[in-house]
Amino acid sequence: MTVVDVKTVRKIADMAAVFIEEKDLEAYAAQLNTIMEHMGKIMDLDTGDQEPMEHILPVKNVFRDDEVTNKNIKDELLKNASVKEDGYFKVPTVVE
Amino acid sequence: MSICKKTVTETAELLRTRKISADELVKEYFDEIKKKNPDINAYVTICEDEAIKAAEAAQKIMDSNNDVPYLCGIPMTLKDNICTKNIKTTCASKMLEDFLPPYSATVYKKLLDSGTVLLGKLNMDEFAMGNSSEHSIFGAVHNPWNTAFVAGGSSGGSAASVASNLAAFALGSDTGGGIRQPASFCGVVGLKPTYGLVSRYGLIAFASSLEQIGIISKDITDCGIIMNVITGHDPMDSTSIKRPAEDYSEGLGKNIDGIKIALPKELFGSELEKEVGNVINDTLKRLESRGAVLSDCSLPTIENAIHAYYIISSSEASSNLARYDGIRYGHRNERAENISDLYRKSRTEGFGQETKRRILLGTYALSAEHQDELYKKALKVRNIITREFRNAFDEYDIIAAPVSPVTAFKLQENLNNPLKMYLKDVYTVAANLAGLPAVSIPCGKDKKGLPIGIQLIGKPFSEKLLLNVGKQIEMEAGRLEII
């Protein structure tokens, strides 16, 4: 059973915002298909009315008092951006 | 004997008794790093100037103060997915090749507060995705026991650095075996603590619900001493647990009479190499002769742990790695014409092949058509596996198993067969799904002379017991040292 084909890879690559070159699509599809066929065996397991467990701990929101605990580190944060201007991150035009 | 071969405990004693100064000590380590690292490729960044300054500062503290932290002046190193302020943290990825974190991970701060000296940052599989430390822009880590073999992964640099005496200890991260398996392949101790016991603040995320920062050390006692420093509640990590502090180094080696150790038959299956199985069984017999009570048991759903693990970890990875857009930090394509093109081109160039494969797997599992099927099914299986462990721990104190079905494999051997590579994680992933502590302890070697490790898994927060039983194994098997 083929679950992942070239068409699927093209689609999920688009959703994940990565390009897979045409020449590599077949190879990616074959590998992902082999992997998913194997991992898909999980579907054969009877899980009854078991609840899905997203997290091992009972995860709750953690709140703290609304106090300023850090200082302005704008310049430090901008240091890692490769393109910036006048203290801002710079991106290509978004709205014409 | 080279001073770099010594454990943390032995080195701390030399520093305390003024047999060596902290700055002389780090210089010894850098000599060793310069000699061996070209063959091992454990370090990707070396912080020589900073380390010498830090060591001089540590020495001043030791000279002028009576209340000196135990680890003061001890040279250590960190996997390159643990953020170090203003020191490159690359995740072995082109994406973060030039990333200078504006803040430090909590574990790093704690280690600095205790006076340790950072020697450098360590090679790994890109974004911690892998078990051979071959998926790295810096090239593969080589196993110090035989450089034709892999060091394991994803904390391959951490294990290789400690095994080849290029640091007194190292921290790594374990998402599905990332500390235990390389520790096993390199003949050192590797501990993955209970989920929530060590802060993940500043650990670059791969699969947040599974991963923990942990320790790679030369022996069990060192592991306990370092646990004392890195554990504790951290308000900066919402999954960090509040509980009273323990002394993990106290009482190691005490009597294990009547400790009940279970051996799940599913973790001694047909994929287990005979030689590895024999060494593990022999080690278990020796524990029995020291008073432990061995029993066979069954964790029927654990055979599906590997499936659940790859579905959950890839799903979390696809979500966590969505943050890399090329804008605020990370690799940016310079020729993109519009914003969507910028995201795509930057991510395509920045991520390596294995990282892309995991992102695609996760995107597939989480896509609208499959989410109910695959991801939720995996989460249900996670619940069942966790319950099976809980039931087993009602009866037994510890679960013992191999760490890996094989010893270190040859470099390149599995690179073109990702599924074959993934399946080697079969014994380690369940502890991550259930958030349990697990330790890998060296217990012998195969005919090729490559190390074998045994794994002990415990109930949540039973690290002290794991280390105590681990100490018994160490007393029987001795430390594995490269001659």
Instruction: Kindly state whether residue B366 falls inside one of the protein's structural domains.
Output: no
In total, how many domains does chain B have? 1
pLDDT of residue B65: 78
For helices B220-230 and B463-477, give the axis angle rounded to 10 degrees: 160
Instruction: Kindly state whether residue A62 falls inside one of the protein's structural domains.
Output: no
Q: How far is CA B326 from CA A68, B197, B354, B359, in A?
A: 29, 33, 19, 16
Q: Which H or E run includes B26?
A: helix B22-40
Instruction: Kindly state whether residue B134 falls inside one of the protein's structural domains.
Output: yes
Domain harbouring B49, CATH code: 3.90.1300.10
Q: How far is CA B76 from CA B102, B122, B222, B259, B470, in A?
A: 21, 11, 12, 34, 22
Q: What percent of chain B has pLDDT over 90?
A: 96
Smallest CA-to-CA distance from B284 within B259, B302, B305, B307 is with B259
Residue B397 has pLDDT above 80, yes or no: yes
Smallest CA-to-CA distance from B430 within B393, B465, B467 is with B393
Domain that includes residue B73, residue range = 3-257+438-477
Instruction: Kindly state whether residue A26 falls inside one of the protein's structural domains.
Output: yes
CB B154 within 8 A of CB B133: yes
Angstrom distance (rounded) from CA B179 to CA B229: 18
B398-430 pLDDT, tens per residue? 999 999 999 999 999 999 999 999 999 999 999
How many CA atoms lie within 13 Å of B316's alpha carbon, on the beta-carbon side? 23
Number of cross-chain residue pairs from A and B with Cβ atoms under 8 Å apart: 153
* ipTM summary value: 0.95
- Of the partner residues B306, B380, B433, the one whose CB lies closest to the CB of residue A47: B380
- Between chains, do B435 and A57 touch, taking CB under 8 Å as contact? yes
Instruction: Kindly state whether residue A31 falls inside one of the protein's structural domains.
Output: yes
Token digits for B432? 């991550």
B258-273 pLDDT, tens per residue? 999 999 999 999 999 9
B202-221 pLDDT, tens per residue? 999 999 999 999 999 999 99
- Of the partner residues B318, B367, B376, the one whose CB lies closest to the CB of residue A52: B376
Residue of A nearest to B307 (CA): A39
Instruction: Kindly state whether residue A20 falls inside one of the protein's structural domains.
Output: yes
- Of the partner residues A15, A34, A43, the one whose CB lies closest to the CB of residue B363: A15
Phi-psi region of B18 (alpha: psi -120 to 50; beta: other; left: phi over 0): left
B434-469 pLDDT, tens per residue? 999 999 999 999 999 999 999 999 999 999 999 999
Instruction: Kindly state whether residue B202 falls inside one of the protein's structural domains.
Output: yes
Instruction: Kindly state whether residue A21 falls inside one of the protein's structural domains.
Output: yes
Residue B101 has pLDDT above 80, yes or no: yes
pLDDT of residue B364: 95
Instruction: Kindly state whether residue B348 falls inside one of the protein's structural domains.
Output: no
A43-80 pLDDT, tens per residue? 999 999 999 998 888 777 888 889 988 889 899 999 99
- Between chains, do A35 and B310 touch, taking CB under 8 Å as contact? yes
Token digits for A15? 């959703």
CB A33 within 8 A of CB A5: yes
pLDDT of residue B12: 98
Instruction: Kindly state whether residue B32 falls inside one of the protein's structural domains.
Output: yes
The DSSP letter of residue B444 is E
* Nearest-CA distance A22 → chain B (Å): 13
Question: At which residue do the structure tokens 């990282």 appear?
Answer: B355
Interface with chain A: mutation pick from B93, B360, B424, highest number of A CBs within 10 Å = B360
- Of the partner residues B310, B347, B348, the one whose CB lies closest to the CB of residue A39: B310
pLDDT of residue B373: 87
Domain that includes residue A28, residue range = 6-44
Neighbour count for residue B350 (Cβ, 10 Å): 23
**Structure-model confidence comparison of residues A94 and A8, the more confident one:** A8
Average pLDDT of every residue of chain B: 97
pLDDT of residue B368: 80
Chain B residues lying within 8 Å of A39, measured CB to CB: 306-307, 310-311, 374
- Overall average pLDDT of the B305-309 stretch: 97
Chain A residues lying within 8 Å of B360, measured CB to CB: 9, 12-13, 16, 18, 28, 32
In total, how many domains does chain A have? 1
Residue B50 has pLDDT above 90, yes or no: yes
Chain A residues lying within 8 Å of B130, measured CB to CB: none
pLDDT of residue B343: 97
pLDDT of residue A45: 94
Instruction: Kindly state whether residue A15 falls inside one of the protein's structural domains.
Output: yes
Residue B371 has pLDDT above 80, yes or no: no
Residue A2 has pLDDT above 70, yes or no: no
pLDDT of residue A1: 53
Instruction: Kindly state whether residue B222 falls inside one of the protein's structural domains.
Output: yes
Smallest CA-to-CA distance from B211 within B192, B230, B226, B227 is with B192
**Which 3 state secondary structure label does DSSP give A30?**
helix
| φ, ψ dihedrals at A89, nearest 5° | -70, 145
- Overall average pLDDT of the B120-136 stretch: 98
